[in-house]
Amino acid sequence: MKKMNQSVFYSIFFNSSSVSICTMEQFHDYTMMFLSIITIFISIVILRLMTSKFFNYNFMENINMELIWTVLPIMILFLIAYPSLYYLYLFDLTLNPMMTIKVFGAQWYWIYENFDSEKGNSYPSYMLPDSEILSGKIYKMGWRLLETDTRLVVPYGTEIQCLTSSLDVIHSFSIPELGIKADALPGRLNSITFQISRPGLFYGQCAEICGTGHPFMPICVEAV
């Protein structure tokens, strides 16, 4: 039984793009179980009330039933709130990141800075125009309005710490497929930790309305 649970966990983990999105999917399925049960139960009660011509006054004024439908929702909310708070604090937990990346938001492009033991490497990332996408090689063609001239290259399978800030207005470093969303605020440093579980390309965009060039500052992360 333990080996089966481990195999199920590993299959879910490696089919997901990152640990964060894997956890979000598990919590979504867990919450949907309660929502489905509640929806089916209420639908059955409403259907029975609409089709039945008899009324049970003892049922409508029963103190025990009132206690049940007061205590039961409290228990359901507790069962949902506990894993929600657990995952919320788990996302902020940083154990031993093997790599630290600093991301600066600017109007309207991103600046990435990689840290290592000796020196840092800083480079900007702009959206690739349509003319350059069409003139490039077929196998190098990316998504329109999402491909960048410089990709953020990170190793997969390792814990990565991402520090975000802004040079002008509020931006948001968001990659939905990886479950990443960190606000880039001027004069403030936000931190988020993620771990990509497989190699590939992952696209995102700024999630805050930061001006006229807001839809033209994409994010392209390459996990190698």
pLDDT in tens, 97-116: 888 889 999 988 899 987 65
Domain boundary among 54, 75, 91: 91
- Report how many domains make up the chain: 2
**Are 112 and 218 in a shared domain?**
yes
Residue 148: which residues within 8 A CB-CB, separation 6 or more? 110, 125, 126, 127, 128, 218, 219, 220
**Are 170 and 200 in a shared domain?**
yes
* Confidence at 56, pLDDT banded by 50, 70, 90: low
**Are 218 and 148 in a shared domain?**
yes
- The enclosing domain of 127 has a CATH number of 2.60.40.420
Helix (H, G, I), strand (E, B) or coil at 214: helix
**Are 24 and 48 in a shared domain?**
yes
Q: Which domain holds residue 7?
A: 2-91
**Are 131 and 56 in a shared domain?**
no
Mean local confidence (pLDDT), 152-156: 88
Give the CB-side neighbour count of residue 178, counting CA atoms within 13 A. Answer: 31
Bridge partner residues of 204 (DSSP): 219
Reply yes or no on whether the pLDDT at 5 is more than 70: no
pLDDT tens digits for 60-105? 666 777 788 888 888 999 999 988 888 888 777 777 788 888 999 9
How many degrees, rounded to 5, is the angle at CA 38 between CA 34 and CA 42?
175
- Model pLDDT, residue 36: 92
Domain boundary among 91, 110, 125: 91
**Are 75 and 184 in a shared domain?**
no
| Lowest-confidence segment of 25-34, 124-133, 156-165, 212-221 by average pLDDT | 124-133
Looking at residue 129, the DSSP 8-state letter turns out to be: P
**Are 78 and 187 in a shared domain?**
no
**Are 59 and 145 in a shared domain?**
no
- Model pLDDT, residue 104: 92
Give the CB-side neighbour count of residue 193, counting CA atoms within 13 A. Answer: 16
**Are 25 and 53 in a shared domain?**
yes
Domain boundary among 70, 91, 112: 91
**Are 41 and 129 in a shared domain?**
no
**Are 104 and 210 in a shared domain?**
yes
Reply yes or no on whether the pLDDT at 1 is more than 50: no
**Are 45 and 109 in a shared domain?**
no
Q: Is the pTM of this model over 0.85?
A: no
